[in-house]
Amino acid sequence: MKTARLILDKDYVISEVDKRLYGSFIEHLGRAVYTGIYEPGHPATDQSGFREDVIRLVQKMNVPIVRYPGGNFVSGFRWEDSVGPVNERPRRLDLAWKTTETNAVGLHEFAAWAKKAHTEVMYAVNLGTRGPEDARNVVEYANHRGGSYWSDLRRKNGAEEPFNIRLWCLGNEMDGPWQMGAKTAYEYGRIANEAAKMMKWTDDSIEVVACGSSSTGMKTFGDWEYTVLGECYDNVDYVSLHRYYGNPHNDTQDFLASTMDLDNFIKTVASICDAVKGAKHAKKQVNLSLDEWNVWYHSSEQDQQLHKREPWGQALPLLEDVYNFEDALLVGLMLITMLKNADRVKIGCLAQLVNVIAPIMTRPGGGAWAQTIFYPMMQASTLGRGTSLLPILTCDKHDTKHFTDVPDVDAAAVMNDDGTVTIFAVNRNLTEGVTLECDLRAFGDMRVVSHSVLHHDDMKAVNTEEHPCEVLPADVPAPRKGEDIVLPAASWNVIRLEKARD
Ligand code: AHR
């Protein structure tokens, strides 16, 4: 069997892991909100119409923060439509997804849902069709205690206490021609700077995320980040990265190598932030918010048909990717890449959370279940908190269609606050298992307490409402002293170690 060698040391530290790395995203899109988290009349709903079966799954996945309400949707959104008496809220055409938005769920409802789901809100403001004035107004509405027009309106609308939203997105993908009110980098940089300033003058405890490029494939990628940050560096805390991968040509090896691209993307944007920092002689560091990431390609064709059949419909089943086992491996690899860059990536939002390119699926009037990608996300969010350690990994490498020198094994390690160490590892070798030799140096004598493996013989295996447990992680016997840790061919592994007792 092949061998991979992993060296970890207490003193080889990348960074503390910001718990917001394990965030997610809910957009007013498709069935994310309506018949996703909210379905009045469903047998599993609470008094407010929220599905408790979904809330339980969100809690199980341990999601610390949820970006809301968009996405492309936010660039035409009037936040005022989403507050006040529900029966007086306007129905609007959403040009982003060609659907009708009823505004039945808005800011108050979502804040209440987040509380129930044990998560926090990351709120995006509209810098597409609107501007800094509307952005600072919603900060005042959400966060100011009272005694001003907008904060008193919130109280009148039933929320005496502020929502205390700490993290705000300055628009969404403003470089994309598909975006309502798309802008050049300079136009956006200026407006983002003014919005950030006014939002922070309203509440100086908030943090804000400027839009980076919507993907590395944009012609303006790189130049966009440099120009935008040139205008707003002093007033922003993070710049966003969005990245989706697919396997449309059924080349699993190449697909699983995509995280080489993600790593490069992260390092490039971090370098651009630092170049602007240098040019400005600034002291502060702008970090990264990977606030949309996932696999996304399965549903593209069916969505085009749907839009033709039902323009301006409500709660259409859009972007409903059904994830298979290999997608779960890629999600695991993406999490590993984020952990290995935890010194710069502070926020991550798996896009999205329910029904829309999501780990959690629902059927209107029916069940809720976890897709394959739910499991690496849940395990990383639960066990990947603490300090990300620098993994020195030696293993065989291979080439794929688009990548060279792809390590067969990729791994990240987190020193948890209770002194245990958790290793997350993917064996990309599709045919052979690999023995993982761990040298834990200053940790002393450690023993494996558990080893969970996610593997399926069929790369295309999926979980469905009828068969929700087809692809599930399973504990394998922890190797005893002197025995090897084995990473099966094509597997996601979570290995926990603790100090050996005599
Ligand atoms: O997550 C789906 C969409 O992907 C978002 O609305 C947009 O920001 C991105 O292009």
Peptide bond into 181 cis (omega under 30): no
Per-residue burial over 126-155, b if 16 or more Cβ lie within 10 Å, else e, is: bbbebbbebbbbbbbbbbbeeeeebbebbe
- Answer yes or no: is pLDDT of 200 > 70: yes
Q: Is the CB of 173 under 6 A from ligand 1?
A: yes
Q: Which atom of ligand 1 is nearest to the CA of 292?
A: 1
Structure tokens at 181: 């009110």
Contact 239, 229 (CB under 8 A): yes
Q: 450 CA distance to ligand 1 centroid (A)? A: 37
Mean model confidence pLDDT for the chain: 96
Interior CA angle at 290 toward 214 and 341, to 5°?
130
Q: What is the largest CA-CA distance in the chain?
A: 70
Q: 125 CA distance to ligand 1 centroid (A)? A: 15
Helix, strand, coil: what percent of the chain each, to 5?
30, 25, 45
- Answer yes or no: is pLDDT of 307 > 80: no
- Ordered by where they begin, the domains of the chain are 2-9+389-499 (2.60.40.1180), 18-383 (3.20.20.80)
Could you read off the pLDDT of 228-252 as tens digits, one per residue? Answer: 999 999 999 999 999 999 999 999 9
Q: Is the CB of 172 under 6 A from ligand 1?
A: yes
Q: 291 CA distance to ligand 1 centroid (A)? A: 10
Residue 81 host element (H or E): none
Task: Enumerate the active-site residues.
Answer: 173, 292
Rounded to 5 degrees, φ, ψ at 115 are -60, -45
Could you read off the pLDDT of 400-452 as tens digits, one per residue? Answer: 999 999 999 999 999 999 999 999 999 999 999 999 999 999 898 899 999 99
Give strand pairing partners of 122: 67, 167
Q: Is the CB of 27 under 6 A from ligand 1?
A: yes
To test the pocket of ligand 1, the residue of 99, 122, 292 to mutate (highest count of ligand atoms within 8 Å of its CB) is 292
Q: Whose CA is nearest to atom 7 of ligand 1?
A: 71
Could you read off the pLDDT of 136-188 as tens digits, one per residue? Answer: 999 999 999 999 999 999 999 999 999 999 999 999 999 999 999 999 999 99
pTM of the model: 0.97
Q: How far is CA 383 from the centre of its chain?
A: 17
Could you read off the pLDDT of 31-53 as tens digits, one per residue? Answer: 999 999 999 999 999 999 999 99
Q: 72 CA distance to ligand 1 centroid (A)? A: 6
Name the residue among 191, 213, 51, 73 with its Cα closest to residue 134.
Answer: 191
The confidence band for 502, taking pLDDT boundaries of 50, 70 and 90, is: low
Q: Is the CB of 355 under 6 A from ligand 1?
A: no
Contact 4, 484 (CB under 8 A): no
Could you read off the pLDDT of 60-113 as tens digits, one per residue? Answer: 999 999 999 999 999 999 999 999 999 999 999 999 999 999 999 999 999 999
Q: Whose CA is nearest to atom 2 of ligand 1?
A: 71
Q: Whose CA is nearest to atom 8 of ligand 1?
A: 71
Could you read off the pLDDT of 332-358 as tens digits, one per residue? Answer: 999 999 999 999 999 999 999 999 999
In the chain, the percentage of residues whose pLDDT exceeds 70 is 100
Q: Whose CA is nearest to atom 4 of ligand 1?
A: 71
Q: Which residue in the block uniquely carries the two structure tokens 């695991």?
A: 332
At residue 311, the pLDDT reads: 84
Per-residue burial over 196-210, b if 16 or more Cβ lie within 10 Å, else e, is: bbbbbebbeebbbbb
Q: 290 CA distance to ligand 1 centroid (A)? A: 13
Q: Which atom of ligand 1 is nearest to the CA of 72?
A: 6
Rounded Cα–Cα distance for residues 190 and 201 (Å) = 17
Rounded Cα–Cα distance for residues 1 and 220 (Å) = 46
The CA–CA distances, whole Å, from 93 to 73, 78, 127, 307, 356 equal: 10, 12, 18, 14, 19
* Radius of gyration of the chain from its Cα atoms, rounded to whole angstroms: 23
The confidence band for 501, taking pLDDT boundaries of 50, 70 and 90, is: confident
What size, in residues, is the chain? Answer: 502
Q: Is the CB of 237 under 6 A from ligand 1?
A: no
Q: 71 CA distance to ligand 1 centroid (A)? A: 5
DSSP string, 434-446: EEEEEE-GGG-SE
Average pLDDT over residues 255-270: 98
